[in-house]
Amino acid sequence: MLMTKTLAVSAIKNGVVIDHIPAGQALYLVRLLKLSDRNKQVTLAINLKSGSKGYKDIVKLEEYRLTADECAKIAVICPNATLNTIENYEVTDKSKVVLPDRIDDIFPCPNDKCISNHEPMSASFLIQEYRQGIRLRCHYCNKCFSQEDALPLR
Ligand code: CTP
Ligand code: ZN
């Protein structure tokens, strides 16, 4: 019998697969982390069926290793993402992202009056787990934002 199970997006040879991204956020993640600013293949899959009712996005980065800073930023944007290291077509490492206590230089503080938006400094947020998701508290103005309020490009 013919095998009918195929990958929705081609397998990669070497690199990183960011899996279980909330549906619709892959493009945002790639733009925010500038993951396509190289001469290497980046494949996005948006709104893939995941489980019985849900949907997810996937980002595949050929010839790439994520830095610790990038992993922390991915965790803030997609707290349930899985990072898969691919070597010679095999998954050689799989881990869930880990939320950092604090994140710098990711996106501006949503508070217009915050000093970080008026002085040459990067925004910095303390990350707190809140109900099922997270909250971000600005280090400078001390205001607290939901993830939806803080993510600017969506
Ligand atoms: N993958 C890939 N290229 C490869 C191997 C795997 O793009 N050469 C991708 C798969 O498409 C999948 C992810 O890497 O999106 C993880 O692969 P695998 O662990 O085999 O899949 P699952 O068992 O479905 O992963 P999980 O249990 O984490 O959902
Ligand atoms: Zn602020």
Report pLDDT digits (tens) over 116-136: 999 999 999 999 988 888 999
Query: Has residue 4 got a pLDDT over 80?
Result: no
Q: 72 CA to middle of ligand 1, Å?
A: 21
Q: Is the CB of 57 under 6 A from ligand 1?
A: no
Q: Is the CB of 66 under 6 A from ligand 1?
A: no
Q: Is the CB of 82 under 6 A from ligand 1?
A: yes
Q: 113 CA to middle of ligand 2, Å?
A: 8
Ligand positioned closest to the Cα atom of 12: 1
pLDDT 10s digits, 81-97: 999 999 999 999 999 99
Strands 144-146 and 54-62: unpaired
Pairwise CA distance, residues 46 & 36, whole Å: 16
Q: Is the CB of 146 under 6 A from ligand 1?
A: no
Rounded to an integer, the average pLDDT of 56-78 is 95
Q: Is the CB of 115 under 6 A from ligand 1?
A: no
For residue 8, the ligand 1 atom closest to its alpha carbon is 11
Rounded to an integer, the average pLDDT of 142-148 is 91
Task: Specify the long-range contacts of residues 77-81, CB closer than 8 Å, at least 24 apart.
Answer: 77/25, 77/28, 77/29, 77/32, 77/147, 77/151, 78/18, 78/20, 78/21, 78/22, 78/25, 78/29, 79/133, 79/134, 80/20, 80/22, 81/18, 81/19, 81/20, 81/21
Query: Has residue 64 got a pLDDT over 60?
Result: yes
Predicted confidence at residue 82, as pLDDT, reads 97
Query: Has residue 152 got a pLDDT over 70?
Result: no
Q: 151 CA to middle of ligand 2, Å?
A: 13
Pairwise CA distance, residues 148 & 146, whole Å: 5
Ligand positioned closest to the Cα atom of 84: 1
Q: What is the pTM of this model?
A: 0.90
Give 3-state DSSP helix, strand, coil % of the chain, rounded to 5: 15, 40, 45
Confidence of residue 50 (pLDDT cuts 50, 70, 90): very high
Considering the chain, what percentage of its residues have pLDDT values greater than 90?
Answer: 77
Confidence of residue 1 (pLDDT cuts 50, 70, 90): low
Predicted confidence at residue 154, as pLDDT, reads 53
Higher pLDDT, 91 or 148: 91
Rounded to an integer, the average pLDDT of 4-31 is 90
Q: 58 CA to middle of ligand 1, Å?
A: 10
